[in-house]
Amino acid sequence: MTGPRYPALIADLPSSVPFVGPETQERERGAPFLARLGANESVFGPSPKAVAAMQRAAGEIWKYGDSTSFDLRRALAASLGVGTQNVLVGEGIDGLLGYLVRLLIAPGDAVVTSDGAYPTFNYHVAGFGGVLHKLPYRDDHEDPAVLFAKAAEVDAKLVYLANPDNPMGSWHDGAALVAALDDLPEGTLLLLDEAYIEFAPEGTSPVLDIEDPRVIRMRTFSKAHGMAGARVGYAIGAADLIRSFDKIRNHFGMNRTAQIGALAALEDEVWLETVKADVAKAKDRIALIARDNGLTTLPSATNFVAVDCGADGAFARKLLEALGREGVFVRMPFVAPQDRCIRISAGTPEDLDVLADALPRALAAARG
């Protein structure tokens, strides 16, 4: 009796996931977290109009979703000032990353990213046999010039850049990115992850012709719109590239109720502004809590704050673990020197009360 015959590529991959979810951690610790501040979700929730729309749609969940997500794509296109043919809806940015890598990367193809940037992208590249080239951050920012130079050196098909960045919260001015594109080599596509763009200063997103074949952008309803559990993301790019996804995507992968909820969320601009204001207040409170405990914070254009623990990665991990024992779920960067920080998502006032109470004890435990 034999089992399945895995291709060599798959057989050699580690059985691991990019992130251990908070639910898994709660099962391991035998208790729920008191403050869930590690996954950059929006604890402020989705628009009440989105919730109502999904509740109304629940009775028709027996139907498959529109395989083209047409209504949502049309509304997104109108809000962005582009054509419907320039927008693709998918199962969160994570799902879209997998599709893009499948579309472009064959075994042995070079891909360039930053060392310590979004691990899920690396996970997809490894799964399709791409060869990752990872470059260090510069001053806690991803470095477009270095990334593009490496792409030219290794003939990369794809370069990943998050703007604003996760896990540091840093960002580049959009005009600077447009200028940097002059050095993007021919035949290389820039994947611009804009998951946090709603929280960023005006001018962070580069102004480009939508048919510019050098760039594809990805955005999400998981952050500012508070719908992480619904798994709705979208890509924006040249029509030919967007059309090419039809060759490989899961055409019925989008949940019907999630499509309807995302459409209602997109239309509720008042709620979005309320959430952005709540996030700004929460980031100020996190900075104050950090400062009260002798720690510093990095400027952030996202819905989280990177807190510099003032030591090395080993100390930051001790602090993260101590906070976990106190019932506070946070995460940290994986690579030095960024791993000197812990990353704390914007929370409700009650969440941040828990953090303020727990942090002094966690610091004392981490310091031994």
Tens-place pLDDT, residues 195-229:
999 999 999 999 999 999 999 999 999 999 999 99
Rounded to the nearest 10 degrees, the angle between the axes of helix 22-29 and helix 313-325 is 70
**Residue 358: predicted pLDDT:** 98
What residues pair up with 189 in beta bridges, in sequence order? Answer: 158
The superfamily CATH assigns to domain 20-45+270-366 is Aspartate Aminotransferase, domain 1 (3.90.1150.10)
**Residue 14: predicted pLDDT:** 85
**Residue 297: predicted pLDDT:** 98
Query: Which residue has better confidence, 168 or 9?
Result: 168
**Residue 322: predicted pLDDT:** 98
Range list of H helices, the chain: 8-11, 22-29, 48-57, 70-80, 92-104, 119-127, 144-154, 174-180, 239-244, 256-267, 269-292, 313-325, 349-366
Q: Which CATH class is domain 48-267?
A: alpha beta
Q: What is the mean pLDDT of the chain?
A: 97
DSSP secondary structure, 97-118, as one string: HHHHHHHH--TT-EEEEETTS-
> Is 17 a residue whose pLDDT tops 80?
no
**Which tens digit of pLDDT belongs to each residue from 308-334?**
999 999 999 999 999 999 999 999 999
**Residue 15: predicted pLDDT:** 82
Q: Residue 18: which pLDDT band, with cuts at 50, 70 and 90?
A: confident
> Is 189 a residue whose pLDDT tops 90?
yes
> Is 4 a residue whose pLDDT tops 90?
yes
Q: Residue 1: which pLDDT band, with cuts at 50, 70 and 90?
A: confident
> Is 130 a residue whose pLDDT tops 90?
yes
**Residue 143: predicted pLDDT:** 98
**Residue 81: predicted pLDDT:** 98
Q: Which residues lie below 8 Å from residue 368, measured CB to CB, with a gap of 6+?
A: none
Rounded to the nearest 10 degrees, the angle between the axes of helix 256-267 and helix 48-57 is 150
> Is 139 a residue whose pLDDT tops 80?
yes
Distance of CA 133 to the CA centre of its chain: 20
Tell me how far apart the alpha carbons of residues 95 and 217 are, in angstroms, rounded to a whole number. Answer: 14
What residues pair up with 159 in beta bridges, in sequence order? Answer: 112, 190
**Residue 103: predicted pLDDT:** 98
Q: Average pLDDT in the 184-191 region?
A: 98
> Is 105 a residue whose pLDDT tops 80?
yes
% of the chain surpassing 90 pLDDT: 94
Can you read off the two tokens belonging to residue 327?
């019932």
**Which tens digit of pLDDT belongs to each residue from 222-263?**
999 999 999 999 999 999 999 999 999 999 999 999 999 999
Collapsing DSSP to helix, strand or coil, 222 comes out as coil
Q: List the chain domain ranges.
A: 20-45+270-366, 48-267
